[in-house]
Every structure is written in structure tokens, then in C-alpha cells.
């Protein structure tokens, strides 16, 4: 496996065939070409990379580290949905914690709380937009004492293990994805039509082929409502079966966060979900940078 830099610790594989850890990389320093290549390689061949003891990740360090892997997504969806203020200083970071703009834990009826519940369902980030996300980089600042882990599932191995007939059946199929579909599943109340119009659904192939390795992976998310080429109920059943298959324990790693962890994953080869915690009692401060797919990356 690729090495960090000279005098840097190596990447170690820690779970199945898809999670690597790199201890002690200073993410505030620009990456040299070798290290950059190693990270891309690790994500191509595995899917999730944990950077530990990066010490502590400032917003600026997280952004400058992330930018080295492609253009950043900007998004203010939670603010649109909740009509509340923002806590973070830039819309290049997505606030996935449970704190409001004053640093207090979200009130029980805060719409952002309901919005975040959607993250507890298996998904890949922003599949509901026409431009897909390649990598997400999630930094932990404050973590709760119990729960609040994040689980990842390996969509490459899940694809490989499908029966030949299923692989043939899904070849060339496309799913429709909508944030409003997954938010309704997550229990969020009705959203008005003008807000819904700001995020129309998007369509993507059900199977992703990594352009560098040629490896196939399932591209699934709770945002996916149906399959374009199939009868709605039948497509729904297929999505449920594929999701159940791909999230069996043998494909899943559960990450126990430590403050200062930065976890980077490939959305095109993994799914993830949050694990519940007592979000009325304990603060959880987590911030995500998201890289958009471009023809070159």
C-alpha cells in the first residue's frame, strides 16, 4: 500500500478490504505529488481513509486539504429548509452536527434536527444533484459519549458478490434520486413546493465504473426512489434488495470518532449512515467538505 511521506506513517488497512488509516499526517501542509497520489490510490482501491491525529482540524485546513482533490460543493440546504441562521463561516462546509448558530444544541422542534435524521439512512452524499460527489471529508470536533458513530459500507465488494444474473439485470439501469424522498423517509414533515423546486431530482446509473481501476460498484442511496427503466414498484423492490444485500455486516465498518479525526470517503464506491445518539442531551460538532465530480477527477 502507498506510504505517507518519508518519515510519515504508512496507511494501514483496518477493516475488510476497504478502510485504511493514516496516523499523524499534518493536513495543514500542502500535499506533495506522491502523497496526493497515494491518497487517491487508497481511496480507489479501498474507499474510506481515516486521518487520525491531524490535530485539530480548522475550517481553513479542512478546506485547503479538500481543495487538492477537486472543486468543493457549496450548499445551504439546511438553512433553506429551516429559515435559520448559519453556524459555520462558509457554505463550502456542510454542518452535520447538532448545534445552532449560538452553539446551543438544536431545540427538539428545530427543522434542522429533522433534516439531519435523514443522515441515519444509508446513503451516498448528494446523489440527488446532477453533478455527483466524488469524495466527502468529514471532520470531528466534538463527539458524544455514546452513539454518534458513522458506518460505511463497501459497494465494490457488494457488487462483486452479486449473482451473475443480477449483474446482468442491473447493467444499464438508472435510478432517480431526490433529497425530498429520503427526507420524507427520515420522518421530516412536509416541505413547501417552492423549496422543493430548489432541488429537483437527478438520475444516475445504478452501477459506477471507476475510471482509474475499472472496478464496478453499486451506486445506491436512500435518496433513490425508483428505477427509470422499470415499473415503479418493481424498481423499488430491486433497490430495497440491493440495499439490504450491500449493507450486510460483512460489508460494513463502524467508525468510532475521536475529536481531530478527518475521514475521507469515496461516495462512488461506498455508502454511509450516522448512528443515533442522544442528540437532545449531547453536543456533536461535525463538518463536511464535499468534492464534486469533474471530467478530470
Chain positions contacting Mn ion, by CB under 5 A: 125
Tell me which residue has cell 464506491.
269
Q: Which of 119, 208, 225, 269 binds ligand OGA (CB under 6 A)?
A: 119
Interface with ligand OGA, residue 178, by CB under 6 A: no
Closer of 4 and 264 to ligand OGA (Cβ): 264
Interface with ligand OGA, residue 288, by CB under 6 A: yes
Interface with ligand OGA, residue 285, by CB under 6 A: no
Please choose, from the candidates 74, 20, 65, 68, the residue with its C-alpha nearest in 3D space to the C-alpha of residue 290.
74
Q: Which of 22, 286, 289, 291 binds ligand OGA (CB under 6 A)?
A: 286
Backbone angles phi, psi at 257, to 5 degrees: -75, 140
Interface with ligand OGA, residue 96, by CB under 6 A: yes
Interface with ligand OGA, residue 222, by CB under 6 A: no
Interface with ligand OGA, residue 57, by CB under 6 A: no
CA distance 284 to 262: 15
Q: Which of 57, 66, 99, 138 binds ligand OGA (CB under 6 A)?
A: 138
Q: Which of 47, 201, 235, 274 binds ligand OGA (CB under 6 A)?
A: 274
Min dist CB 157 to Mn ion, Å, is 20
Min dist CB 13 to ligand OGA, Å, is 22
Q: Which of 45, 132, 199, 272 binds ligand OGA (CB under 6 A)?
A: 272
**Per-residue b or e along 116-135, where b marks 16 or more CB atoms closer than 10 Å to that residue's CB:** bbbbebbbbbbbbbeebbbb
Question: What would the grid cell of residue 69 be?
Answer: 482533490
CA distance 29 to 61: 8
CA distance 103 to 87: 8
How far is the CA of 27 from the CAs of 4, 30, 38, 97, 157, in angstroms? 12, 7, 14, 22, 30
Interface with ligand OGA, residue 127, by CB under 6 A: no
Q: Please name the helix (run of DSSP H) or strand (run of DSSP E) that holds residue 77, with its range, or none.
A: helix 77-82
Min dist CB 273 to ligand OGA, Å, is 7
Interface with ligand OGA, residue 271, by CB under 6 A: no
CA 95 to chain CA centroid, Å, is: 13
Interface with ligand OGA, residue 267, by CB under 6 A: no
Question: What would the grid cell of residue 15 be?
Answer: 477493516
Binding site for ligand OGA (CB under 6 A): 96, 119, 125, 136, 138, 150, 272, 274, 286, 288
Amino acid at each position: 500500500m502507498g506510504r505517507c511521506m518519508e518519515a510519515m506513517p504508512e496507511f494501514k488497512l483496518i477493516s475488510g478490504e476497504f478502510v485504511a488509516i493514516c496516523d499523524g499526517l499534518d493536513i495543514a501542509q500542502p500535499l506533495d505529488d506522491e502523497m496526493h497520489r497515494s491518497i487517491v490510490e487508497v481511496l480507489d482501491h479501498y474507499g474510506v481513509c481515516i486521518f487520525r491525529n491531524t490535530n485539530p482540524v480548522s475550517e481553513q485546513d479542512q478546506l485547503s486539504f479538500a481543495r487538492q482533490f477537486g472543486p468543493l460543493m457549496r450548499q445551504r440546504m439546511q438553512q433553506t429548509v429551516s429559515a435559520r441562521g448559519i453556524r459555520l463561516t462558509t457554505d463550502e462546509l456542510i454542518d452535520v452536527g447538532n448545534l445552532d448558530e449560538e452553539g446551543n444544541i438544536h431545540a427538539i422542534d428545530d427543522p434542522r434536527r429533522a433534516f439531519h435524521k435523514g443522515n441515519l439512512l444509508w446513503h451516498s452524499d448528494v446523489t440527488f444533484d446532477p453533478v455527483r460527489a466524488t469524495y466527502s471529508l468529514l471532520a470531528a470536533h466534538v463527539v458524544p459519549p455514546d452513539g454518534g458513530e458513522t458506518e460505511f459500507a463497501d459497494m465494490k465488494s457488494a457488487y462483486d458478490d452479486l449473482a451473475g444474473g443480477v449483474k446482468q439485470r442491473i447493467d444499464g439501469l438508472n435510478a432517480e434520486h431526490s433529497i425530498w424522498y429520503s427526507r420524507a423517509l427520515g420522518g421530516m414533515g412536509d416541505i413547501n413546493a417552492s423549496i422543493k423546486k430548489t432541488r429537483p431530482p437527478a438520475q444516475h446509473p445504478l452501477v459506477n465504473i471507476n475510471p482509474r481501476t475499472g472496478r464496478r460498484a453499486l451506486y445506491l442511496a436512500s435518496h433513490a426512489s425508483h428505477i427509470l427503466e422499470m415499473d415503479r414498484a418493481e424498481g423499488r423492490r430491486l433497490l430495497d434488495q440491493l440495499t439490504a444485500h450491500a449493507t450486510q455486516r460483512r460489508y460494513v465498518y463502524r467508525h468510532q470518532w475521536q475529536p481531530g479525526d478527518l475521514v475521507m470517503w469515496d461516495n462512488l464506491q461506498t455508502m454511509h449512515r450516522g448512528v443515533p445518539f442522544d442528540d437532545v442531551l449531547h453536543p456533536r460538532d461535525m463538518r463536511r467538505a464535499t468534492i464534486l465530480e469533474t471530467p478530470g477527477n
